[in-house]
Structures are given as C-alpha cells and as structure tokens.
C-alpha cells in the first residue's frame, strides 16, 4: 500500500462523499442510496464547490481512502479528524496526512492545531498525532445549558452595555486588557495579536449579534469585564449559541463578577431565542474557578477533548 496525499480537485465530490459515508459506517446498498441522496442535496444547495475546498485527500492507486479538512488563518492551520475508509488502517492513513501537510500549506503558516474528540466508541487519534511530531497542549471539555428557566441578576452591582460603534473602543480595550495576569494556553495567539483576534471573534465565529456582546461596568464607572456570545450555523455547534469568551479584568477579579456577566449574557440570549435556546462553552480542565461559575449557572459537562499543536520546523 502506497498512500499519496494531494489537495482536493474539482470533481472529487463523488469520491469524498463515498469515503466519508464509508468512514461513518454505511455499507453496500445503503451506502449507494445515501450517496445519491447526498449528491442530490449538494447540487440543490449549490455547495459542491464548498465541499471541494480546504480539503486534502489520501489516495491508494485510483481509490480515495481518506479525507482531511483544514482551515488556515493568521499563521495557523487547524486540522480536523480525518475520515478514513475502514478497509484501510486508520493510523497509517492519518500518519500519511501528517507527514505531508506542511508541504501543502502556505509558507507563512507556522503552527498546526488539532482538537481530538473521541468517536462513539471512545477512540481518539492523539497518539498518532504525537507519533508524527505533535505535542499535547491542554485538555478541555464542552459544557451545555438549555435556557428553560428565566435568568435574573443576583446583584445590582454592574451595569451593562451592548457592542456598538460608540462602545467599540471600550470593548477593545477591555479585550486587550483581559490577557493580563494568568493566561489560558488557548489564548496565547490572541494575547499576542489582540486587534486581529478581536476582529476574528466578531466576524468569523458564528453570527454576530451586537446585543449579545456584553460589557460590564461597576459603580465607579470602570469597565470590569465582558462576555461574547455568538450563534453557530452548521458544524458541531449548529443551532447553538456559544459563549466564545468571558473575562474579568485583573483588578476586578475575585468579586463574583464573572458569574454576573455570564448571567446577563444568558438573559439576553433567552430574551432573543426563548426557552428552547441552548448555550454551550468550552473550559480548560483544571480551571476550577470557571468550572464553578458555569456549574452554578446550570451548565453540564458533555464531552472532553484534547488540544494538540505542532510548530513548523
């Protein structure tokens, strides 16, 4: 077996779809029926060009045996778990992707990131990534809350402003200042490039609703923290409003502001979307203060994942 890795080409949608379906357990006639349904849907939705983008494929002879999607931005490439034809060894095909991908990304890309979620059987690929030069960065887990109950403030210590052209500078200054003190390893790039990161949170991650960006001010008129909520369409968090980032500024920590700021954001989400709204977030394992805040608000842990990264040699 000789695995060749190449970028996606026009016309690959048929083989990509077949490979992904096989990786997800479809077989025989069932696979063929689902393949036809999916291809028809792709044509109707006019998304074939989208499917045939930001993808590498693994080929053995004339047969496509693996599909890996990726995204490049701001000097990073984010890799996703590959879909591998079950007739082939997953570790071997994944390793072929990992040995080749640096040659396929922009020369300006300096870091690769991979989020390793377990599949339905509890299987992960972290060991394969580490065998191919990646390093374990951190463990995180998803938490989720359905807003069936009305959310009310516990105190009246803070007032809140939504994002607007008038509050832009205050929001950005609070965002920039939030990286002072202890820093989550997941936020290192953001701390180094705050202006670019601020724009990315607003424009790239989900649907921006300025009313769901919450800036908190104390009784003395000082901005003390913020929370950024955005709703996702498609992907793992489809239909879910994510708390992308919540922070209390260094001089205001330890006063319970984090919970109150989050509570205000949840209240706004529920007011907009009703009692069926779902909010999710991710927390670094071991960040006990954050875990306690979210648990008190009713969030439940649902899934753990591990973050791996690799710097370009």
Q: Identify the CATH assignment for 144-304 out of 3.40.630.30, 3.40.50.970, 3.30.70.2660, 3.40.50.720.
A: 3.40.630.30
Place of tokens 């706004």: 268
For helices 28-45 and 13-23, give the axis angle rounded to 10 degrees: 130
Phi, psi of 197 (to 5 degrees): -65, -45
Q: Which tokens sit at 159?
A: 């007032």
The strand ranges marked E within 232-299 are 241-248, 278-284
Name the pairing type of β-strands 135-146 and 300-311.
Answer: antiparallel
Domain boundaries, the chain: 3-133, 144-304
Q: Rounded to an integer, what distance in angstroms lies between the CA atom of residue 307 and that of residue 116? A: 6
Give me the tens of pLDDT residue by residue for the chain, a chain 313 residues long. 799 999 999 999 999 999 999 999 999 999 999 999 999 999 999 999 999 999 999 999 999 999 999 998 778 999 999 999 999 999 999 999 999 999 999 999 999 999 999 988 889 999 999 999 999 999 999 999 999 999 988 888 999 999 999 999 999 999 999 988 766 777 777 888 888 888 888 887 888 999 999 999 999 999 999 999 999 887 778 889 999 999 999 999 989 999 999 999 999 999 999 999 999 999 998 888 889 999 999 999 999 999 999 999 8
Taking a C-beta distance cutoff of 8 angstroms, is the pair 283, 137 a contact? no
Give the Å distances, CA to CA, from 167 to 17, 109, 159, 174, 268.
Answer: 46, 33, 14, 11, 18
Fold type of domain 3-133: Aminopeptidase (3.40.630)
144-304 and 3-133 share a CATH fold: yes
Q: Rounded to an integer, what distance in angstroms lies between the CA atom of residue 28 and that of residue 20? A: 14
Per-position b or e across 21-32, b if 16+ CB within 10 A of its CB: bbbeebeeeebe
In sequence order, what are the beta bridge partners of 281? 143
Element (H, E) at 188: helix 188-192
Global pTM value: 0.80
């Amino acid at each position: 077996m000789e695995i060749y890795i190449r970028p996606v080409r026009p016309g690959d949608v048929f083989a990509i779809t077949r490979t992904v379906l096989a990786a997800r357990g479809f077989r025989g006639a069932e696979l063929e029926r689902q393949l036809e349904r999916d291809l028809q849907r792709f044509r109707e939705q006019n998304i074939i060009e989208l499917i045939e983008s930001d993808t590498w494929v693994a080929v053995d002879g004339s047969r496509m045996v693996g599909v890996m999607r990726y995204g490049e931005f701001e000097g990073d490439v984010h890799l996703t778990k590959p879909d591998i034809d079950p007739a082939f060894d997953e570790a071997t095909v994944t390793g072929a992707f990992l040995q080749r991908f640096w040659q396929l990304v922009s020369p300006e890309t300096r870091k690769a990131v991979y989020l390793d979620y377990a599949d339905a059987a509890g299987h992960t690929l972290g060991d394969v990534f580490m065998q191919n030069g990646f390093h374990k960065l951190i463990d995180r887990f998803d938490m989720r809350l359905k807003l069936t109950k009305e959310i009310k403030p516990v105190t009246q210590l803070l007032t809140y402003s939504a994002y607007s052209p008038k509050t832009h500078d205050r929001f950005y200054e609070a965002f920039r200042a939030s990286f002072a003190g202890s820093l989550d390893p997941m936020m290192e790039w953001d701390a180094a490039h705050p202006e670019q990161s601020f724009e990315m949170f607003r424009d790239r991650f989900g649907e921006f609703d300025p009313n769901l960006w919450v800036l908190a001010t104390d009784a003395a008129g000082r901005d003390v923290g913020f929370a950024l909520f955005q709703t996702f369409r498609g992907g793992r968090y489809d239909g879910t409003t994510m708390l992308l980032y919540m922070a209390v500024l260094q001089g205001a920590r330890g006063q319970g502001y984090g919970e109150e700021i989050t509570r205000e954001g949840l209240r706004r989400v529920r007011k907009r979307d009703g009692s069926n709204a779902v909010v999710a977030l991710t927390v670094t394992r071991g960040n006990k203060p954050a875990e306690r805040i979210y648990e008190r608000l009713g969030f439940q842990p649902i899934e753990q994942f591990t973050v791996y990264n690799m710097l370009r040699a």
